Amino acid sequence: MHLNLTKFLLAKTMRLVLLVAGVATLSFVLVSHSPIDPVDAYVGAAIMKISPEQRQVIIARWGLDRPPLTRFARWAAQLARGDLGVSTIFNEPVTSVIAKRFVTSLWLMALAWSFSGLLGFVLGLIAGAREDSPADRLIRLYAYTMAATPTFWVGMMLLMIFSVYLGWTPVCSAWPPGLSIEQATLGQRLHHLLLPAVTLSLIGVAQITLHTRQKTVEAMHSDYAIFARAQGESTVGIVCRQVLRNVALPALTLQFASLGELFGGAVLAEQVFSYPGLGRATVEAGIRGDVPLLLGIVLFSTVFVFTGNTLADLLYQVVDPRMREGQGGTA
């Protein structure tokens, strides 16, 4: 088992290294072909005050005077040492930019992720267990609607209803203005987090619901479920004792695979709610041509999603006795 875990982790690490190398190369090629001139984006309205000589000074400060291949080689060498470089728009090491913003985003994503996962799973079970019942139809209608709705639109609607008309939730920021993060109570932070998290959850629920429903329907029609029913087991009993275990596995896969989408959704939700997380930094980096930061965020999200999927693989072994057995057999 130990040997196996080591082997497993080694293989995963190898794969991560290859993945990061691939993603890094591809992203670098893409951003180096971006039409945005980072110097123009940086200078902004001061464009008239900047002479061509000063432009050269800025270009030299960022190392943009070197050919792309040299830049990539230098960046990759730094990356190998764990240094992601310095963000041009924040004038701060990329790692610290990401660290600061990820903390705020993490709250949002964690809340939205667990909420949508749990709710989606339960809704899917209910819908699948009572196929074609009114409850099933209602849940499906909701899921299909949400699957077809863009995040930002839901965000806008919620913002308008709850923040503007009803005044129940704040319009922006991660905690009340004027306070420091230490002064803000947990309640206040949750209050500010509520609307963005609900937005992300409402959307995230759809996929997991539909998948779980499908798997539940299959399980309900399986031999073992029919056999249990023949023995007089109630629907609730079948769901709890037979279906749940079989459905949990695909749901788990999906839930961890959705980390990537969560990242993307957070970008939009943060834009709408002026929530100062990683999403807004990504948008800034993109539109202002901050290559080090953009690449840093791309790599970070790669590792983040990869870790999520690896966790899912590890969790299979915990959840599914068959996999444990199989592993044990080869050891």
Partner 1 sequence: MQTIRLTICMGLCVLLLAAGCGRQQQESHPLPASLTLAVGGENPEGYDPTLGWGSYGNPLFHSTLLRRDADLNIVPDLAATWHLATDRLTWTVTIRPDVVFADGSPLTARDVAYTFNTAAVAGGVLDLANLEKAEALNDITVQLRLKQPDITFIHYLITLGIVPERLHGPGYGRRPVGSGPYKLVRWDEGQQMVVEANPYYYGVQPAIKRLIFLFAGEDAALAAARAGKIDVLSVPSSLATREIPGMKLHVVKSVDNRGLMFPCVPDTGDKTPHGLVVGNDVTADVAIRRAVNFAINRQALVDGVLNGFGRPAFGPVDDLPWDNQAIRFKDNDAEKAGIILTQAGWLDVDGDGVREKDGIKAEFTIVYNATDSLRQGLALAVADMLRPVGIRAMPRGENWDRIKNELVHSTVVVFGFGGHSPLEMYKLFHSPGPEPSYWNGGFYTNGVVDGYLDQARAASSFADAIPLWQKAQWDGQTGFAVAGDAPWAWLVNLDHTYYINQCLDVGRSQMEPHGHGWPITANINEWQWTCE
The answer to whether the beta carbons of residues 54 and 43 sit under 8 Å apart is no
- Quick one: 11 or 60, whose CB is closer to partner 1? 60
Residues 274-303, one symbol each (x = binds partner 1 by CB under 8 A, - = not), give x-xx--xx--x-------------------
Part in contact with partner 1 (CB under 8 A); list of ranges 1-9, 57-65, 118-126, 309-317: 57-65
List the structure tokens of 53: 């000589």
- Quick one: 61 or 241, whose CB is closer to partner 1? 61
List the structure tokens of 117: 């996962």
- Check binding of 148 to partner 1 (CB under 8 A): no
- Check binding of 131 to partner 1 (CB under 8 A): no
List the structure tokens of 39: 């110097």
At 289 the three-state DSSP class reads coil
On the 0-12 / 13-18 / 19+ scale of CB atoms within 10 A, 328 is exposed
Task: Choose among 123, 101, 283: nearest CA to 202.
Answer: 123
d(CA 83, CA 95): 8
- Quick one: 100 or 324, whose CB is closer to partner 1? 100
Q: In Å, how far from its chain's centre is CA 90?
A: 23
Report in angstroms how near the CB of residue 261 gets to partner 1 at its nearest: 16
- Interacting residue with partner 1 among 2, 3, 33, 48 (CB under 8 A): 48
AA identity, residue 222: S
Report in angstroms how near the CB of residue 35 gets to partner 1 at its nearest: 5
Name the site residues for partner 1 (rule: CB under 8 A). 35-37, 40, 42-54, 57-58, 60-62, 89-92, 100-101, 152-153, 156, 159-160, 163-165, 167, 171-174, 177-178, 180-181, 273-274, 276-277, 280-281, 284
